[in-house]
Amino acid sequence: MLIKFKPKYTLTPKFVAWLMRIEAIKEKVLHLPLTVKVYASLRETARLYTTHYSTMIEGNELEPDEIEKVLKHKGHFPGREREEHEVKGYYAALMQVEQWVAQGKPVSESMIQTLHALLMSDGRAQVKPSHYRDGQNVIRDGRTRAIVYMPPEAKDVPKLMKEMVNWIVNNKDLPCPIVAGIAHYQFATVHPYYDGNGRAARLLTTLILHLGGYDLRGLYSLEEYYARSLNAYYDAINIGPSHNYYEGRAEADITEWLEYFVQGMTVSLENILKRMERAQISGDKDQSGLIRKLDPRQRKALELFEESEIITASQIAKLFGFKPRTSAQLCKSWVEVGFLKIMDGSNKGRKYSLAKPYKNLI
């Protein structure tokens, strides 16, 4: 029997306190003095940490420095091809999340299916969305092989996923951390794929938080919090009187999980505050005011200027996954608002540089 998705939880005092703490830290992070150089370094470190810890939860043993070598094609580890494959796929999916956030796209089933396909790829940019599983799967204890959780039957998965996405889209009035936490729980509960469910759930969480304004410049990693205490993570998400989806898991009160989730956000944001404070370089001019004037797409476009003083509309199109016409229109609007300057006015292969004062950001 299919059970309709109606999350049950209670806003306990400590739950509310953590939500308020998250908002307070969010403001501090967004207004802390920062240079573009430090910002870029912290952002890439967060990406590496996110990739490392999320794959580590699933048993991947590559360290952050090894992951960096793999992603930059500067290292190969014989006998560990599966682990290399995993980190390339996760990083590609993470970059796709950033692209969708910059585009402002709302969550959809096709996005979730594409994220999963990227996760299971070897880092390819173009993939076909993954189909949901067509049979039953179970989660077993790694030592005893006893069944820990039996998710819903395959025939129920499409409807449950549709319900979950509709719930995410239609509950924008709820605090974003609550929506993200519930989505994480429900994805793990439905377990729509044979493999990669945990990584996909964590990426969906990141997507929802970033779309809701909790990207915090893309500098923090919730995955680190989970990985540092895996038992607590599994204990919090495995809620219900039975291991069977139809016998209590679907209708469980998930207050305990949400408390764990928002506490994790709090800890993660506090950690990035500390890292930002340590990373500040005395004597460097604070550029945070100028950075805050940029919208998410413009901040992401700075990545291109870190590599070259001159860029093209086709590079913008590739960065955001836009069609040529959309990219050309975006560049035109950026010229009009004073973010870009035309360096080559020809219609074919038009080139751009950063306009003043944004050149000082690089």
**Domain with residues 13-279, CATH architecture:** Orthogonal Bundle (1.10)
Count of beta carbons in the 10 Å neighbourhood of residue 9: 18
Angle ∠(111,115,120) on CA atoms, nearest 5: 150
Kindly report the pTM of this predicted structure: 0.80
Q: Report pLDDT for 147.
A: 79
- Provide the mean pLDDT of the chain: 83
User: How far apart (Å, rounded) are the C-alpha atoms in residues 139 and 188?
Assistant: 11
Residue ranges covered by each domain of the chain: 13-279, 293-361
Q: Is the pLDDT of residue 162 over 90?
A: yes
- Take residue 134 and report the two structure tokens written for it: 């067509």
291 close to 39: Cβ distance less than 8 angstroms: yes
Q: With cut-offs at 50, 70 and 90, classify the pLDDT of residue 282.
A: very low
Q: Report pLDDT for 191.
A: 94
Q: Is the pLDDT of residue 91 over 50?
A: yes
Q: Report pLDDT for 192.
A: 96
Q: Is it true that 13-279 and 293-361 share their CATH fold?
A: no
- The string of pLDDT tens digits covering residues 320-334 is 777 888 888 888 899
> Exposure pattern of 196-230 as b/e (b: 16+ CB <10 Å)?
bbbbbbbbbbbbbbbbbebbbbbbbbbbbbbbeee
Domain covering 293-361 in this structure, CATH number: 1.10.10.10
Q: Is the pLDDT of residue 284 over 60?
A: no
